Amino acid sequence: MRDPDIACDPTAVPIVLVTGPSGAGRTTAINVLEDLGFEAIDNLPLRLLPGLVDANSLTRPMALGLDSRNRDFSPAALLDVIDMLSARRNLDLTVLYLDADREVLLRRYSETRRRHPLAPAEDPEVGVLREIDLMLPIRDRADLLLDTSELNIHQLKADIERRFAPGGRSLAVSLQSFSYKRGVPRSIDMVFDCRFLRNPYWEQSLRSLDGRDVAVQSYVREDSRYEPFFDRVLDLIRLLLPAYREEGKSHLSIAFGCTGGQHRSVTLAETLAKDLAEDGQQVSIRHRELHSPRQK
């Protein structure tokens, strides 16, 4: 992370250092950044990096893929590279760390039948565990930590695009509804629990509908606590968005949770999305449970 006492040249070239354990999505992230106009270089030996950034020909954003597969890789050497890049006033560095649960990494290796680079002659689990421990110091230094455990390749691509697409300091907001029975989604900045609101599940005529339906939304809004709760959430988001934008944050993720993820949380997410869109805000929305079995 750049030292806040070091002023960054407004013409500084953005550099995204993409790293993380094998199988977490690093290659996908590199490819998406390349599609966004970044010059992408993967697995460049660390010893060659100083010469690359010393060149006067850096005129467009660059994405560098560095991980344990590099021949001269070590956590200390990569940390030295991060310090070196952070100190350059002509560079604007972001360390992007792609992460995933151990079980997810193992499943991905099982599906592809690949050998793990840190355990080519051993069980992939040995390599996964070895790499997780090896990468911990780098994980702690990341500017942006992206957990891909629950993301498919299309969702990961969309997330990278939201965070790094050209457009200056614009800020994209993603809203999500979910069921607490399945757990809180990963990589969420703000979570609001709306289980205290009246539940349309107990109304037989509304049970088969969801929070995108006007009848369900009207039922939820009739709760006397709905309006003051929603107004405070909306005021909070409107207060924070300009501050996050000034800070350079490119993406804000907000989630609403209820028991089944079908009615109340969907209503809140839909309503907030509508109000923010009317404000001119770039908003995307996902309802995690709408294609899952109904839960009360």
Residue with tokens 């289980």: 195
Binding residues: 20-27, 67-70
Query: What is 52-111 written as a DSSP string?
Result: HHHSTT--S-EEEE--TTSTT--HHHHHHHHHHHHT-TTEEEEEEEEE--HHHHHHHHHH
Angle (nearest 5°) at CA 173 between 288 and 249: 130
In the annotated binding site for ATP, the residues are: 20-27
A 10 A CB-CB count for 227 gives 11
Pick from 10, 24, 31: nearest CA to 161: 31
- Provide the pairing of β-strand 13-19 with 62-65: parallel
* φ, ψ (nearest 5 deg) of residue 251: -150, 135
Q: Do the Cβ atoms of 19 and 138 come closer than 8 Å?
A: yes
Interatomic CA distance for residues 100 and 292, integer angstroms: 23
Task: For residue 153, give the 3-state DSSP assignment.
Answer: helix
- Find out whether 257 and 184 touch, Cβ atoms under 8 Å: yes
Binding-site annotation, residues for GTP: 67-70
Q: Which two tokens stand for residue 48?
A: 């060659």
User: CB of 49 within 8 A of CB of 98?
Assistant: no
